[in-house]
Amino acid sequence: MQVEVEEKEVEEQMGRLLSGEGLEVTLLDVIPELARPPVVLKKTVSYIVCAVIFNDKEEVLMVQEAKQECYKQWYLPAGRMEEGESIVQALRREVKEEAGFDCQPITLLLIQEQGPQWIRFIFLVKVTGGSLKTPQDADQESLQAAWWDRTSPLSLRGRDILPLIDAGLKYRQSAWHPTTMPIDMPCQHVAQRIIMTFTNSQQELWVLLATAPSAHLPAAAAVKTHTVTWAASMVLQEATPSRYHDYDLSTLGVLGVQHTGRQPGKADGVCLNTLVSLVEDRPQRNEDGERLEPAESAPPPLENPRYRWHRVRNDALRQNILERIKKKSILPVNSLY
């Protein structure tokens, strides 16, 4: 009876995460030694915000850099988060300082990371007030702002922003994931909460749960020497060490980002709520590409009593998860390693 109650609660939690809500980070199931101390903004972690803003002509807002190392080159409005700021507060400040506009984020477009020490949050943003920064307004933040038609020659600080602009145009034309905004919840580490799924050919769906102190979706702190989403691999290695290499583990994307700036130095971390897919790695196939052996009908057996598989029986929840996996309707997270 207790197991049924716990699993019902977990399914309710999964539903909340899929709808863009958050869950308090009360414990981490894997805390590697390299990640044990809580992260501290500007000392052990750096968060960067970046704005993709279009006008009615689909011209993109650009700012001309004032920094000596990239003087007079052009870039999207972007900058580092300051102590005590939320992600959205940092975004609004940077756009105001560099471009002169008041703004409102529409959705997160993409998350990029170079391990847990450097994470960039890219937003699709709309202007709500203010005025375009002119050369007469030049200061240490930027020299000026301008609308770029994306074809005229422009000296760019880096071409890394071009895919971000393309992603913004794509989302404006057809949103491929639900509106996703940061959730105001504290976390001491850079962590990944994991909905790890296994699906068979009959479209049955299992999700991996941690068992102690009660059944819950597992979470793990990121390792300094790996990508943020390596945390899911650490959980799988703990759960089934001998079968770990037999499966391909893919973090499909982010359902939500939890962070608060209200506790500087104490809760500077972020928790990425992620959807992860587990499939058999490199099944044998014939010359026509047909599978020689039938796909596994159940997830791999677990060797660690701290974990168990939960078969999702709520049909609406199962269909929701399967649809999100099929359509890749999830906020992307990309490693720049």
Angstrom distance (rounded) from CA 60 to CA 90: 20
CA 60 to chain centre: 24
> In the block, which residue shows the tokens 């894997």?
30
Angstrom distance (rounded) from CA 85 to CA 106: 19
Helix pair 2-18, 315-327: axis angle to 10 deg: 40
From the list 100, 125, 115, 123, the residue with the least C-alpha distance to 50 is 123
Query: Over its length of 337 residues, how does the chain's per-residue pLDDT go in tens digits?
Result: 566 778 899 999 999 999 999 999 989 999 888 777 889 999 999 999 999 999 999 999 999 999 999 999 999 999 999 999 999 999 999 999 999 999 999 999 999 999 999 999 999 999 999 999 999 999 999 999 999 999 999 999 999 999 999 999 999 999 999 999 999 999 999 999 999 999 998 999 999 999 999 999 999 999 988 999 999 999 999 999 998 888 899 999 999 999 999 988 889 999 999 999 998 775 555 666 665 555 678 899 999 999 999 999 999 999 999 999 999 899 999 998 7
Q: Torsion-angle region of residue 92: left (phi > 0), alpha (psi -120 to 50) or beta? A: alpha
List the CATH code of the domain at 10-39+181-335: 3.90.79
- Asked whether the domain spanning 46-173 has the same topology as the one spanning 10-39+181-335, the reply is yes
**Structural domain spans, the chain:** 10-39+181-335, 46-173
Both tokens of 71, joined, read 């003087």
Helix ranges restricted to H, the chain: 2-18, 87-99, 161-173, 230-239, 315-327
Angstrom distance (rounded) from CA 57 to CA 44: 41
Beta strands in 114-168 (DSSP E): 118-130, 144-148
> By CB neighbour count within 10 A (0-12 exposed, 13-18 middle, 19+ buried), where does 2 fall?
exposed
* Predicted local confidence at residue 210, as pLDDT: 96
Both tokens of 305, joined, read 């009593």
Angstrom distance (rounded) from CA 300 to CA 293: 16
Which superfamily, per CATH, for 46-173? Nucleoside Triphosphate Pyrophosphohydrolase (3.90.79.10)
Which strands, in side-by-side order, build the sheet including 60-64? 74-75, 60-64, 144-148
The residues near 294 (Cβ < 8 Å, ≥ 6 apart) are 201
Q: Are 23 and 93 in contact (CB under 8 A)?
A: no
pTM of the model: 0.94
Q: Are 67 and 59 in contact (CB under 8 A)?
A: no
Residues 92, 179, 233, 210, Cα dihedral to 10°: 110
Q: Are 322 and 199 in contact (CB under 8 A)?
A: yes
* Predicted local confidence at residue 201, as pLDDT: 87
Angstrom distance (rounded) from CA 231 to CA 146: 41
